[in-house]
Amino acid sequence: MKAINWLLAIGFTMLLGCATGATKQPSVDVTGTWAGEYVAGGDIGSGSVTMTLQQTGVNVTGEVVVGGAIALFSGPVTGTVSGDALSLSYRGGTGEFTVKGNEMSGSSRLSRWTLKRQ
């Protein structure tokens, strides 16, 4: 019985180590204003996107203003940075982006975004 408890304890500790090791330290700072466009399929089309972001460590907060058919997704955003990857949550969706210098691109469930730091 003691052997099983030790194995469970070791396994649990290893899982915790793996879970916390999944997030890399940020290699980018996304603080600032980003502007660009989204392109979506179907009847949605395309439109403008402006994000104002503030990064503290791995955490990101800010505001997104979306034009066109999906303007209702405008509002507050929260997210995290891991390496050069930005994960955002906003009203009505989430997005995954890659940041390279002053450019960011990625996608949400409905559209593909490209933005440049202003």
pLDDT digits 0-9 by tens, 88-110:
999 989 999 999 999 999 999 88
Interval 58-65 mean pLDDT: 98
pTM of the model: 0.78
Distance CA 58, CA 56 (A): 6
Q: Is 6 within the bounds of a domain?
A: no
Residue 108, token pair as written in the block: 């949400």
Answer whether residue 93 is part of any domain: yes
Residue 70 has a pLDDT of 85
User: Helix, strand, or coil here: 22?
Assistant: coil
Does the pLDDT at position 7 exceed 60? no
Paired with 75 in beta bridges are 64
**Structural domains in the chain (count):** 1
Which of 27, 25, 104 lies closest to 64 in space, CA to CA?
Answer: 104
* 55 within a domain of the structure (yes/no): yes
Q: Token digits for 72?
A: 């209702």
Q: Is the pLDDT of residue 20 over 80?
A: no
Q: Is residue 4 part of a domain?
A: no
pLDDT at 110 (0 to 100): 84
Residue 76, domain CATH: 2.40.128.120
